[in-house]
């Protein structure tokens, strides 16, 4: 087997793993869009906010400490605990549910029945608000995030030795696959399976599908739209937290994290705004596509194709299949 | 007009009970348009109550007021002898009032079975936490609901389309599935907005039979809007007639048919 082909396989595998994260963020978009018609620009920032909150709680950081200290003239920065990861994740989930409630009560409750573009603008506002809030609560420095089961069994980092040796034995070249990427893929798969089970087999899941399908009909069978919207934002918040953990563990929790939201846009154009399988497949295609393109074509055009490849691919899709791979045919909402 | 204060016995021997729902001086205004002007009437337990009138008379608006989709500008809604506070449509549904829509509002992407299952939403009382913690119990409850839904499917003779996404069904069958979803809630009061519109004669006969059977077998009180006079006369115990948002008649089919004002309202007006 030629060296190039072997390299290409490694690149493809790595692309798949990168795609998982795009898919997770896109999934959050799709959930909210289906249930409420809101295109949530803030989904990426929610991942950032969730990751920062998790780190802050883990390390016992005092929220709003700069503000508090400036007003009271104190020097109070840490509570002085290091919290177990699971407990910290549980508390972060509570914060994300609180955020979902606040978003519904303070913003979207007042915008029911407004044009989609107005709802979209509101989410842009929300994105910047959340970014500012994250900064104010937890500070703007880059943080390292590590999630541990027990004392020192943490999210694994670095090269996976098994894959390295197996591929070395087969191809005479060991693939470099990051342990963290493998974990992320497994976690994402579990998350998606759980979401599917939830929406198919629980009362609330069925209500969620009902709301996504027809608001009027959903009301007539006794479903509270408000409850479902809070539920959906909470789930999207949870998905954001998972994406934030994976991304943050890999590259540190920093504000550039919110930029992954922008990568989720081409993913959505590929997969369709209303399709959960579309978000997943779209994410994987973009992940693999941009890595392989960079590997194969990058050197000829001076590299850095990863910055634009996804958008150009999405543009081509928009022209030929505007509803995306799996999206429903575009029809006017009435 | 027949005195109905104490309930009455119909010609076919059904016992009609006391007042279940009472609309008191309902006025509904959209900007400058008055869809309903000061209308009062009641619906009795076990009754099939028709609301008729020319196009744009305000019939659907009245049904929307009952089901909480519209909030009346003036007037009160009394249910089970109590004044109903302002409610959201989903709260009205939880009180045992189910409905269908003139323009069909089904979950188009879901199967017939799933659509009717959502109709049982108000009957399911497990919450998220208990469902997660007692998965077995939740699944048992789910299968009990499923059984009820299968009964409704048998009753409406739609076994063949159980798994079909309803968006693909012909109009007549969609109407039937929508009725099924409303029935799944085991409603105290069932509101039907033109359940037979756009159907052929055979489909209309089937639908009439279902409506009568629901009323007869489950004792469900029904309020329905219908344009086909023959159907109205056959099905209903009492009729409210609306025209231009006002009530112009109220009584048994015979009384209404001989009411001069009603005759005038219908003269020269085309109805399907
Ligand atoms: N949401 C609304 N906003 C503004 N006007 C409305 C609204 N709903 C109904 N109307 C108006 O109220 C009047 C009564 O309409 P409604 O739909 O109740 O009539 P209807 O008796 O059901 O007629 P049809 O037999 O055609 O169904 C109409 O003039 C209609 O335009
Ligand atoms: Mg109408």
Predicted confidence at residue B268, as pLDDT, reads 52
In this structure, which residue's CA is closest to atom 17 in ligand 1?
A: B60
Of B109, B122, B128, the CB nearest to A213: B109
Contact A197/B at CB under 8 A: no
Predicted confidence at residue B267, as pLDDT, reads 66
Q: Nearest CA to CA, how far is A204 from chain B (Å)?
A: 7
CB-based contact B122 A202, cutoff 8 Å: no
With a 6 A CB cut-off, is B98 part of the ligand 1 pocket?
no
The whole-angstrom separation of Cα A72 and Cα A198 is: 47
The whole-angstrom separation of Cα B166 and Cα B177 is: 8
- Nearest C-alpha neighbor of B77 from the set B186, B189, B182: B189
Residue with tokens 């934002």: A233
How far apart, in Å, are the Cα atoms of A229 and each of A38, A128, B68, B108, B255? Answer: 10, 21, 20, 20, 49
Predicted confidence at residue B7, as pLDDT, reads 79
DSSP structural state of residue A202: S
Q: Which of B31, B35, B37, B270 to mutate to test the pocket of ligand 1 (most atoms within 8 A of CB)?
A: B35
Percent of chain B with pLDDT over 70: 93
Could you give phi then psi for residue B45, rounded to 5 degrees?
A: -60, 125
CB-based contact B90 A207, cutoff 8 Å: no
Asked whether the beta carbons of B123 and B185 are under 8 A apart, the reply is: yes
Q: How far is CA B243 from the centre of its chain?
A: 20
The whole-angstrom separation of Cα B116 and Cα B148 is: 10
Question: Angle of helix A43-58 relative to helix A225-251, nearest 10 degrees?
Answer: 70
Residue A158: HSE in the Cβ half-sphere, 13 Å Cα cutoff: 3
Predicted confidence at residue A5, as pLDDT, reads 85
In this structure, which residue's CA is closest to atom 8 in ligand 1?
A: B61
What DSSP string describes A304-318?
-GGGTHHHHHHHHHH
Instruction: Give chain B positions within 8 Å (CB) of A219.
Output: 69, 88-90, 93
The whole-angstrom separation of Cα A145 and Cα A254 is: 10
Q: Mark residue A148 as left, alpha or beta (left: phi above 0; alpha: psi -120 to 50; beta: remaining).
A: beta
Please report the domains of chain B, with CATH numbers, ordered by start residue: 1-86+189-198+206-272 (3.40.50.300), 97-186 (3.40.50.300)
The whole-angstrom separation of Cα A152 and Cα A150 is: 6
Residue with tokens 């060991």: A174
Instruction: Give chain A positions within 8 Å (CB) of B118.
Output: 206-207, 210, 217-218, 221, 223
Predicted confidence at residue B67, as pLDDT, reads 97
Residue A2: HSE in the Cβ half-sphere, 13 Å Cα cutoff: 3
Interface probe for A, chosen from B88, B105, B188 (most Cβ of A below 10 Å), is: B105
- Nearest C-alpha neighbor of A228 from the set A203, A211, A240: A211
Asked whether the beta carbons of B257 and B269 are under 8 A apart, the reply is: no
How far apart, in Å, are the Cα atoms of A250 and each of A44, A51, A54, A60, B64? Answer: 16, 12, 15, 21, 54
Question: The tokens of A67 are what?
Answer: 């503000």
Predicted confidence at residue A334, as pLDDT, reads 43
Q: Global pTM?
A: 0.87
- pLDDT > 50? residue B1: no
Interface probe for A, chosen from B69, B90, B124 (most Cβ of A below 10 Å), is: B90
Predicted confidence at residue B131, as pLDDT, reads 67
* Model-level ipTM above the cut of 0.95: no
Bridge pairing between strands B221-225 and B189-193: parallel
Question: The tokens of B188 are what?
Answer: 């105290």
What DSSP string describes B57-72?
SSHHHHHHHHTTSS--
Question: The tokens of B206 are what?
Answer: 């089937």
DSSP structural state of residue B170: -
Residue with tokens 């990568």: A263
**Would you kindly state where each structural domain of chain A is located, as residue ranges?**
3-153+176-320
With a 6 A CB cut-off, is B61 part of the ligand 1 pocket?
yes
Instruction: Give the residue on A whose Cα is nearest the Cα of B115.
Output: A210
- Nearest C-alpha neighbor of A224 from the set A43, A32, A35, A27: A35
Instruction: Give the residue on A whose Cα is nearest the Cα of B105.
Output: A217
Predicted confidence at residue A151, as pLDDT, reads 67
Predicted confidence at residue B229, as pLDDT, reads 85
CB-based contact A213 B90, cutoff 8 Å: no
Q: Mean pLDDT, 10 residues at a time, over chain A (334 residues)?
A: 81 87 90 90 92 93 88 85 89 96 94 90 94 91 82 77 85 84 88 88 89 93 94 94 88 78 85 87 92 90 87 89 70 46
- Please write the tens of the pLDDT for every residue from B84-100: 999 999 999 999 999 99
CB-based contact A221 B69, cutoff 8 Å: no
Of A202, A210, A225, the CB nearest to B118: A210
Q: Which one of the ligands is nearest to B33 CA?
A: 1
CB-based contact A201 B114, cutoff 8 Å: no
Asked whether the beta carbons of A241 and A214 are under 8 A apart, the reply is: no
Q: Name the strands in the sheet holding B19-30, side by side, starting at the edge strand that comes first in the sequence.
A: B33-44, B19-30, B74-79, B82-83
The whole-angstrom separation of Cα B97 and Cα A221 is: 9
The whole-angstrom separation of Cα A130 and Cα A139 is: 13
The whole-angstrom separation of Cα B13 and Cα B7 is: 13
- Please write the tens of the pLDDT for every residue from B101-136: 999 999 999 999 999 999 999 888 766 666 666 777
Instruction: Give chain B positions within 8 Å (CB) of A201.
Output: 139, 142
Taking the centre of ligand 2 as the mean of its atom positions, its distance from the CA of residue B133, in whole angstroms, is 45
Instruction: Give chain A positions within 8 Å (CB) of B182.
Output: 220
Predicted confidence at residue B89, as pLDDT, reads 96
In this structure, which residue's CA is closest to atom 25 in ligand 1?
A: B55
Predicted confidence at residue B5, as pLDDT, reads 63
In the beta sheet, which residues pair with residue A150?
A153
For residue A237, the tally of other CB atoms under 10 A from its CB is: 26
Of A214, A222, A225, the CB nearest to B121: A222
pLDDT-based confidence at B4, cuts 50/70/90?
low
């Amino acid at each position: 087997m030629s060296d190039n082909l072997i390299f290409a396989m490694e690149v493809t595998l790595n692309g798949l793993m990168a795609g998982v994260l795009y898919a997770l963020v896109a999934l959050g978009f799709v959930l909210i869009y289906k249930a409420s018609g809101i295109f949530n620009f803030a989904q990426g920032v929610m991942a950032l906010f969730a990751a920062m909150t998790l780190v802050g709680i883990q390390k016992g950081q005092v929220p709003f400490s700069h503000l508090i200290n400036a007003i009271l003239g104190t020097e109070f920065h840490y509570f002085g605990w290091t919290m177990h990861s699971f407990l910290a994740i549980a508390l972060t989930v509570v914060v994300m549910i609180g955020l979902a409630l606040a978003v519904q009560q303070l913003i979207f409750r007042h915008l029911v029945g407004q044009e989609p573009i107005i709802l979209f603008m509101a989410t842009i506002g929300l994105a910047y608000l959340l970014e500012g809030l994250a900064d104010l609560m937890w500070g703007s420095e880059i943080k390292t995030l590590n999630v541990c089961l027990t004392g020192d069994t943490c999210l694994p980092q670095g090269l996976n030795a098994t894959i390295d040796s197996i591929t070395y034995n087969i191809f005479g070249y060991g693939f470099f696959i990051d342990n963290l990427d493998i974990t992320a893929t497994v976690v994402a798969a579990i998350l998606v399976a759980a979401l599917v089970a939830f929406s198919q087999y629980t009362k609330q899941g069925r209500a969620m599908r009902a709301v996504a399908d027809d608001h009027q009909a959903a009301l007539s069978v006794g479903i509270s739209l408000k409850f479902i919207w809070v539920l959906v934002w909470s789930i999207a918040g949870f998905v954001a937290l998972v994406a934030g953990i994976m991304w943050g563990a890999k590259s540190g929790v920093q504000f550039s994290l919110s930029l992954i939201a922008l990568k989720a846009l081409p993913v959505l154009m590929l997969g369709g705004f209303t399709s959960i399988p579309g978000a997943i497949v779209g994410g994987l295609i973009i992940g693999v596509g941009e890595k392989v393109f960079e590997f194969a074509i990058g050197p000829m055009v001076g590299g850095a194709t990863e910055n634009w490849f996804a958008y150009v691919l999405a543009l081509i899709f928009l022209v030929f299949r505007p509803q995306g791979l799996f999206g429903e045919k575009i029809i006017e909402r009435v | 007009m027949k005195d109905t204060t104490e309930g009455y016995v119909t010609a076919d021997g059904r016992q009609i009970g006391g007042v279940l729902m009472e609309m008191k001086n309902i006025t509904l205004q959209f900007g400058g348009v008055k869809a309903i002007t000061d209308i009062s009437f009641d619906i009795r337990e076990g009754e099939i109550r028709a609301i008729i009138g020319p196009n744009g008379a305000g019939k659907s608006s009245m049904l929307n007021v009952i089901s909480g989709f519209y909030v009346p500008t003036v007037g009160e809604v009394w249910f089970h002898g109590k004044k109903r506070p302002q409610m959201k449509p989903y709260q009205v549904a939880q009180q045992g009032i189910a409905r269908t829509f003139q323009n069909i509002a089904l979950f188009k992407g879901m199967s017939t079975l799933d659509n009717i299952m959502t109709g049982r939403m108000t009957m399911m009382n497990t919450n998220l936490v208990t469902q997660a913690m007692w998965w077995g119990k939740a699944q048992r409850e789910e299968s009990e609901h499923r059984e009820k839904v299968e009964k409704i499917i048998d009753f409406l003779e739609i076994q063949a389309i159980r798994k079909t996404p309803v968006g693909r069904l012909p109009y007549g069958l969609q109407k039937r599935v929508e009725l099924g979803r409303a029935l799944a809630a085991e409603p105290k009061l069932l509101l039907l907005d033109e359940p037979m519109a756009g159907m052929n004669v055979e489909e209309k006969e089937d639908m009439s039979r279902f409506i009568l059977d629901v009323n007869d077998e489950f004792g469900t009180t029904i309020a329905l809007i219908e344009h086909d006079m023959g159907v109205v006369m056959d099905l209903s115990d009492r009729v409210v007639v609306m025209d231009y948002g006002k009530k112009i008649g109220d009584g048994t089919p015979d009384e209404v048919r001989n009411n001069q004002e009603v005759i005038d309202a219908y003269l020269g007006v085309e109805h399907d």
